C-alpha cells in the first residue's frame, strides 16, 4: 500500500493527487516576498482562561454514549489493539 495512504489511515486506491501537487511547483517558484508590516491574524496564546473542571451535562453524556459505534450491554466495544 502507498505510504501516504498508510500515513493518512485511509484505504484509497482510486484517489489521484497529481493535480494538487501542481501547486507545489507554483509555491516553490514564488520569490521576493516582503513580510514587513504583516500582522499575525491568529490570536496569540497569551490570554488563556484558568483550567476549570465542569461536569458533563447528563443529556450531553447520553448523546456521546449514543454515538459510540459499538456496544455490548453497558460496555463500549473498541477494536482489538494487541494482536
Using CB under 8 A as the criterion, which residues of the chain lie in contact with other proteins when the complex forms? 1, 4-12, 14-17, 19-24, 26-28, 30, 33-43, 45, 47-49, 57, 59-61, 63-64, 66-70, 78-81, 83
Distances (CA, A) of 55 to 42, 48, 58, 79: 30, 20, 9, 28
Q: What sections of 1-83 are H helices per DSSP?
A: 3-8, 18-28, 58-67
Pick 53 or 70: Cβ nearer other proteins: 70
Q: Rounded to an integer, what distance in angstroms lies between the CA atom of residue 81 and that of residue 76?
A: 14
Pick 24 or 73: Cβ nearer other proteins: 24
The DSSP symbol for 45 reads S
Closest distance between other proteins and the C-beta of residue 55, in Å? 14
Closest distance between other proteins and the C-beta of residue 74, in Å? 16
Amino acid at each position: 500500500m502507498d505510504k501516504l495512504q498508510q500515513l493518512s489511515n485511509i484505504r484509497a486506491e482510486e484517489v489521484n493527487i497529481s493535480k494538487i501537487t501542481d501547486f507545489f511547483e507554483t509555491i516553490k517558484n514564488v520569490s521576493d516576498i516582503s513580510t514587513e508590516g504583516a500582522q499575525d491574524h491568529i490570536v496569540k496564546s497569551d490570554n488563556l482562561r484558568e483550567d476549570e473542571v465542569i461536569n458533563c451535562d447528563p443529556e450531553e453524556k447520553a448523546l456521546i454514549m449514543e454515538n459510540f459505534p459499538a456496544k455490548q450491554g453497558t460496555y463500549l466495544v473498541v477494536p482489538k489493539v494487541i494482536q
